[in-house]
Structure formats: C-alpha cells, structure tokens
Amino acid sequence: MPIYRSHILICGGTGCTSSGAGEVTEAFKKAITEKGLADEVLVVPTGCHGMCEMGPIVVVYPEGTFYCRVQKTDVAELVEEHIYKGRPVQRLMYSAGEDVPVIPHYKEIPFYGKQHRIALKNCGYINPDNIDEYIVRGGYEALGKALLSMKPEQVIDEVKASGLRGRGGGGFSTGLKWSFCASAKGDKKYVICNADEGDPGAFMDRSLLEGDPHSIIEGMSLGAFAMGADEGYIYCRAEYPLAIQRLKTAMAQAEEYGLLGENIMDSGFSFTLHVKEGAGAFVCGEETALMASIEGRRGMPRPRPPFPANSGLWGCPTNINNVETWANVPQIISHGGAWYASLGTEKSKGTKVFALTGKVKHTGLVEVPMGITLREIIFEIGGGILDDKKFKAVQIGGPSGGCLTEEHLDTPVSYESLTALGAIMGSGGLVVMDETTCMVDVAKFFLEFTQKESCGKCVPCREGTKHMLLLLEKITEGKGTMEDLDTLEGLANMVKEMSLCGLGQTAPNPVLTTLRYFRDEYEAHIRDHKCPAGACAALLEYRIIPELCKKCGICAKNCPVKCIPGDRNTGYRIDTDRCIRCGTCFEKCPFGAIEKK
C-alpha cells in the first residue's frame, strides 16, 4: 500500500450521513485533488465514532485532531489551513460549552477518555468497505490462529475463560452455550447472528454492522469452527439498509480472500454465510421466533426446551448470539480469555457498549468496562443533563427494562446489580430523563410499544398488557383512582409470571419500577389531577401571566381553536374550557408569558 503523510477519517455512519457527511467527503476529495495533495493525503470513509449528535465527525491523523459538525462549506478552510499549512482549525474543534476552551485531540475528550473499546475497536478507524484495513489492524489473525493451531474444544475453552456473556439481553454464558451446541448430536449445525436490534433507543448493533462488519463475520466463523457448524445466517432488520449493504460487501471480500466459503485457509474447514432481512416485528428478536422467521413462518416464540442448541433452525442444532457478542470473539481468541476476564466485575466480565440517549448532553455509543457507575457514564462521559436541568431517572434495557433514580447512580453496572434493582442490562440502551419527563407517561409509552408488539400467542401478554395500558391512559387523563394502582400492580405481576417468552415476562418492568420508585407521581395524577412534570396534556392548564404579557397577540393568532379572546388594548386571556392544550401558544409567545401547570 502507498504511504500517506496524513489520513482524513470521515464518519460515514447513518447519523453523520444524515447530517451531510457524504457531501463533506466529496468536498474533501475535490479539495485535496485541487491542491495536488492526492498522493500525500488519503480520505477514508469510516463507520460510526459514537458521537453521532456532533456529526459529521472528521478526524485528521497522525495528529488525531477531532472536528465536529463539519459542513461542506468548512472543507476549503480545513484543507488550506490544517492540511496545507499545518495549522489546525480551532473553530471546528470540540468544546464542552460556549465559553469552555476547545479540546483538539480525540483521546482527551471526556466522552472518549473513559471508554475502553474492544467490540468497537475498529469502529471509526477503518473503512468498513475495505477488508485490507481490517486485516492491517489484526483482523482474521484469530481465525488463522484457531484454524491452524487450535482444536475446536480449545476455542470454546478460551471463550469460557473470558467470562463473556450474551450481549443480546439474557446474559447467558457464551462459552457454556457453545459447548451445548458442540456436544449436540447432528451432522448439520447452524450459527446465527441476531441483528434484529429491536429495542428502541439502542443502536450499538447497527454501528458495529456498519462500522466493522468483518469482526462479526470472523467471530461467527470462529464459532462455527468451534461448534462444528458449516452454515450461518445473519438476521438483520430491514430498517438498516446500510448495514445490510456493508455486510454483503464484506462477505464478498472475505470470500475473495479465501477467508469465507470452502476450505478456509486450506484448513479443511468450510463455512457459508447468508444475510436474511427481517420483516419488522419486535418479537422476532426472540431466538425461537427469529428462527421461525428464517424458515419463512410467522415469527412467534415457542416454548423451550428443546433449546436451539439441540433443535434449532430446521430442527438442527443451532447457536444464536447477538452482534456485539460475536464481535468480541476474535479479540478473545487473539489475546486470550484471561485478558478479557481481567476487565469487569466478578461475574460480569469485559466491556459493554451502551447507547446513551435522551436528555443528556452528549448522546452516543460508549463502550465501558463492566462495573463502572451510571454516574460516570451519564455525567462524565455524557457530560450531564441537557440544558443543565435536573436529572430524574435513567431507563435501562429498553421496553423490558426499568427506570432507576438518583439514588442508584453510584451502583456499579453489572448484570446482577441491575437485575437486583428491577431493571435489566438488556441490549444496553440508556435513556436519560430530566425533570420535564413524566414517569407515568414513560410507563405508558413502553406499554404501548409492548402491547403493539405482543405476538398474541399468550392470553396474559396479549390481554394483560392491553388492560394495563387502558389503566395508564385513564391515569394520565386524570381519571384514575387509587384502586387502579393496585389493579395495575396485580396485572403487572400476573403478566410477568404467566407469559411464555421474554417479551411478556418483562413488559411489566417499566410499570413496576416506576410504581416502586415514583409512586408519588402516579398519586399526583390521581389525587391532585396534576402532572408534576408538565407532560400529560390532559392535565395541563395554560394561562397567560399578565405581568409578562406585552399584548402582542401572537398567541391569539396562532391558537388553532381561537380560544384566546382579547385585543391589543385590553390584553389576552385563555378560555380554559375551550382550550385543547396543544401548547402552540406556549411555544409561540416571544416573551415567555404563558405558563403551563
């Protein structure tokens, strides 16, 4: 490969692409060529850096200068100043706030400083469409090592020693699961990668698939070798077109290099891989439903046993793991299980990728060692709460998870500690909520989701979630009674205990945790007919504060139901009986003279 004095890495992930990274890349290529620098400077499109909100992200190496929110109009200046004259451009560097000094280097930004990247090692560093870049960073070494110098049992032993647990939610020991499938009887075995990523608020799988597809292919090949499988499926959501495209490119390149397909590296081991597009049903993320869907049937879960390890896809022994689980495998084989196990807590080893979203300053993907506290994640890495509002809760684990409060912020994060608090690790979604988020509304929101996604097979899940939702709607409209809270809790426990699959078993978690930690908010809706967070529309009252009102009439003009009578002399007043609580006046008033309570 030719040697370049400088590399310009431009994020080509979904987030940055939607903020204009494609145009920025084109502009860079053009400017570099025009300056006659094409032999010295290489423009590399990469996968997601995790800080999507600040996108498009551009990193210039060898210095490691980090630029954010770069637009195509900034490119000429960057090339002229930084690349040509060697003077980095301050104005596009990262800063934590308006008057805070900029931080020029990638590694010094708090968002990255505390991270420990294993699964995300290559994301944002390499061009995912170029297998050579993966190989240069140690890619396919683990596969070579395993095929040429290890027995399948040794591969499984390494994975067991690493302590790696399933990253798709369940947290089951990966090594143990592999050993079940390896010892199952059958000539034909399958491995599957679960890339259905249904949890709203989680996008680590997407970034891995888009940013480092080879690590998943290599991980699956290692697993197939260890368990004696020769065929695999990656089941990917149809909502992720870029991920599917990158996977297909990566597979074709691996085949061309003899790293996938027949007789890999002349070892006698063959492995065929297929990509299957999901068709839009959350429950298909559940393993038995997922396999039904690959077989072309309705994706409904079935009771286990038999477990997939014994009877999975088309009745054959099958092992299914999550994207992030697979992505960790090559490095565990390269560096050894003990290396991985040296990170994390006693029972939760290694690192976990979290998707930090909601009302936090820096949303994005962060990979941290297990055992870190929520406070470190939210306040140090995430930079605290948006607009310096007050932290209220953090929702962990998607619709199956729970809401935790201020008092839990110092809990070290592990599978056990989260379960003990009534939440779960889940896929690693962390949605931060501030004082303006209503917890009853949040519980209702999650239930709307699970109720809609219930496959309908079990009565408790199908009907129970519906009735719980009706109760929550009643409460957010201010029509609830105190008895409703008991009924809600009773229903929640019933659905939890009597449902067949994880969807039903965990759907009540958001309700149960909010009832446990935010009961006073429920009571305020019922007893005082008030929503303390000011979020439940039906309970709000809009009022014009006469002292602040400048009689401009903008509210009256914008009110869709014309319920703000008055004129510029006498002033304005909201007719609360006719008000539909749309909030338009509140947003439009230039003087903040409208309050909602």
Q: Using CB under 8 A, pick the residue from 41, 52, 461, 531 that binds other proteins.
A: 52
Task: Output 281 or 469, the one with its CB closest to ligand FMN.
Answer: 281
Each residue 412-431 as x (binds other proteins by CB under 8 A) or -, in order, gives -----------------x-x
| Strand residues in 35-135 grouped as ranges (E) | 41-46, 58-61, 65-67
Q: Is residue 15 within the footprint of ligand FES (CB under 6 A)?
A: yes
Q: Could you tell me the sign of the dihedral formed by the alpha carbons of 115, 177, 268, 235, in that order?
A: negative
Say how many residues touch ligand FMN, by CB under 6 A. Answer: 21
Say how many residues touch ligand FES, by CB under 6 A. Answer: 14
234 neighbors 274 (Cβ within 8 angstroms): yes
Residue 479 exposure: Cα atoms within 13 Å on the Cβ side? 7
Report the distance separating Cα 331 and Cα 466, nearest Å: 45
Q: Is residue 167 within the footprint of ligand FMN (CB under 6 A)?
A: yes
Pairing of strands 364-369, 351-358: antiparallel
Measured in whole angstroms, how far is the alpha carbon of residue 47 from the centre of its chain?
15
Identify how many contiguous H helices and E strands the chain contains and give both numbers: 25, 17
Tell me the window of 35-43, 140-148, 229-237, 576-584 that interacts with ligand SF4 (CB under 6 A). Answer: 576-584
Residue 559, binding choice from ligand SF4, other proteins, ligand FES, none, Cβ under 5 to 8 Å by partner class: ligand SF4
Q: Could you tell me the sign of the dihedral formed by the alpha carbons of 307, 310, 315, 319, in that order?
A: positive
Q: How far is the CB of 437 from other proteins (least distance, A)?
A: 6
Q: Using CB under 8 A, pick the residue from 357, 454, 505, 513 that binds other proteins.
A: 357
DSSP string over 204-252: HHHHHHHH-HHHHHHHHHHHHHHHT--EEEEEE-TT-HHHHHHHHHHHH
Q: Is residue 55 within the footprint of ligand FES (CB under 6 A)?
A: yes
Each residue 291-330 as x (binds ligand SF4 by CB under 6 A) or -, in order, gives ----------x-----------------------------
Report the distance separating Cα 289 and Cα 535, nearest Å: 36
Task: Output 126 or 283, the one with its CB closest to ligand FMN.
Answer: 283
In the window 256-285, what residues touch ligand SF4 (CB under 6 A)? 283
Say how many residues touch ligand SF4, by CB under 6 A. Answer: 27
DSSP secondary structure letter of residue 509: H
Count of other CB atoms within 10 angstroms of residue 20? 16
Q: Is residue 441 within the footprint of ligand FMN (CB under 6 A)?
A: no
Task: Output 226 or 500, the one with its CB closest to other proteins.
Answer: 500
Residue 167, binding choice from ligand SF4, ligand FMN, ligand FES, none, Cβ under 5 to 8 Å by partner class: ligand FMN
Q: Is residue 302 within the footprint of ligand FMN (CB under 6 A)?
A: no
Task: Output 278 or 344, the one with its CB closest to other proteins.
Answer: 278
Three-class secondary structure assignment of 354-369: EEEEECECCCEEEEEE
Each residue 401-440 as x (binds ligand SF4 by CB under 6 A) or -, in order, gives ----------------------------------------
Task: Output 172 or 314, the one with its CB closest to ligand FMN.
Answer: 172
In the window 257-286, what residues touch ligand FMN (CB under 6 A)? 283, 285-286
531 neighbors 594 (Cβ within 8 angstroms): no
Q: Using CB under 8 A, pick the residue from 138, 445, 494, 558 that binds other proteins.
A: 445
Residues 6+ apart with CB under 8 A from 321: 166, 168, 174, 177, 191, 192, 193, 194, 223
Q: How far is the CB of 422 from ligand SF4 (least distance, A)?
A: 19
Measured in whole angstroms, how far is the alpha carbon of residue 462 from the centre of its chain?
27
Report the distance separating Cα 495 and Cα 464, nearest Å: 6
Q: Is residue 13 within the footprint of ligand FES (CB under 6 A)?
A: yes
Tell me the window of 48-56, 189-197, 272-280, 295-303 that interacts with ligand FES (CB under 6 A). Answer: 48-56
Report the distance separating Cα 413 and Cα 370, nearest Å: 6
Each residue 364-393 as x (binds other proteins by CB under 8 A) or -, in order, gives xx----------------------------
Residue 277, binding choice from ligand FMN, ligand SF4, other proteins, none, Cβ under 5 to 8 Å by partner class: other proteins
Task: Output 163 or 428, the one with its CB closest to ligand FES.
Answer: 428
Residues 6+ apart with CB under 8 A from 4: 39, 40, 41, 42
CA distances from 253 to 130, 141, 214, 275 (A): 8, 16, 9, 15
Tell me the window of 52-60, 177-185, 299-307, 560-568 that interacts with ligand FES (CB under 6 A). Answer: 52-60
Where do contacts with ligand FES occur on this chain (CB under 6 A)? 11, 13-16, 48-52, 55, 57, 200-201
Where do contacts with ligand FMN occur on this chain (CB under 6 A)? 166-170, 172, 194, 196-198, 283, 285-287, 320-322, 325, 501-503
